[in-house]
Structure 1
Amino acid sequence: MRAVVSSNTQMIPAFRVAGRINKPLHEVFEAVVDPAQLSGYFTTGGASGRLEPGATVTWDFADFPGACPVRVVEVVADHKIVLHWAAADGGPETGGRYDTTVTMLFEGLEDGRTLVSIAETGWRESAAGQKAAFGNCEGWTGMLCALKVYLEHGIKLRDGFYK
């Protein structure tokens, strides 16, 4: 996680995680936008639809309770996905619901692998916002690990991991 200092010296929670997948760019990109594939390694309770600009899909995590509406802001085939979804610290006691922005970038490497980077920004400058950002940093790191072993070895890493 990286923290950016604002003019009032508060820490703005934000992070970026990245990993290399030993598969071609298009195959990796499709494993994220296709709900059947995404449900195989990440959204263990299912994904309701393909990630397409303007769509709102639901990601359900059967092993980590909660169905999440995900608003798809931008998709550039084989390059970029931008999503908005509810921040984990958006309860009434912390100022109400708000969304964060998730940006996924895909880069084909010269050796045939694909570099995937995921950044999430937009949390409130608070202890609760920082805690939520750390939790999501862990979650996106887990997603990248699960994506890698699913595509490279057919293993469903999340099976039994959280329960």
Structure 2
Amino acid sequence: MNLHFTVFGIVNKPVQTVYEGVADPAQLSRYFTTGGAKGRLESGETVTWDFHDFPGAFPVEVIKAVPNEKIVLNWGADDGKTTVTLTFKEIEAGRTKVEISEEGWPETEAGLKASYGNCMGWTQFLSALKAYLEQGINLREGMYK
């Protein structure tokens, strides 16, 4: 069994706007990394993400970043890192599909539980991204705490 998932959502903004909403740490901090993001998501960089509702800043390795197309990340504990792939595709003028896949958990009960938690988190990320870019609203604030 290979633990993995894919979620997606459509944001009513051009692909460049949506990509920047994820890659730019200032924007990411406004709707996702409630404790702050440090570092732009660029190939070969290691950035830091922090969440007020899950305290403790941690490193996120950017394996690959192709502007307006894809971001590939590794994150998690050294013995349990997972790979997250975000793809951005403009499906029509001003509408962008964001697809997020994650894989790499150990095939254990704990790995399965962690994958479910991250699936929930990335689904909420998509909703928060959409609300922030389309309406300027922070959906994550107070969501988990």
| Band of TM-score, shorter chain | over 0.9
1:98 CA drift (Å): 2.5
**Residue 121 (1) aligns with residue 103 (2):** yes
**Residue 156 (1) aligns with residue 100 (2):** no
TM (normalized to structure 1)? 0.86
Superposed CA deviations along residues 72-118 of structure 1, whole A, max 9, x for unmatched, are 0001110000000015xx7xxxxxx2311000000001242000000
| Whole-angstrom CA distance in 1 between matches of 2:137 and 2:21 | 14
1:55 is matched with which residue? 45
| Whole-angstrom CA distance in 2 between matches of 1:104 and 1:66 | 23
Runs of 4+ in 1 over 6 A off after TM superposition: none
Q: State the identity %.
A: 61
Computed over aligned residues only, the root mean square deviation of the Cα atoms, in angstroms, reads 1.1
Corresponding residue to 2:64 among 55, 74, 84: 74
TM (normalized to structure 2)? 0.96
Corresponding residue to 1:28 among 15, 18, 32: 18
The count of corresponding residues between Structure 1 and Structure 2 is 145
Give, as a single letter, the amino acid of the residue that structure 2 aligns with 1:28.
V
Q: Unaligned stretches of 5+ in structure 1? A: 1-10, 91-96
| Whole-angstrom CA distance in 2 between matches of 1:110 and 1:154 | 22
C-alpha contact 2:7 2:100 (8 A) present in aligned 1: yes
| Whole-angstrom CA distance in 2 between matches of 1:77 and 1:106 | 9
1:4 is matched with which residue? none
Structure 1 or 2, whichever has the larger Rg, is 1
2:114 is matched with which residue? 132
| Whole-angstrom CA distance in 2 between matches of 1:108 and 1:78 | 9
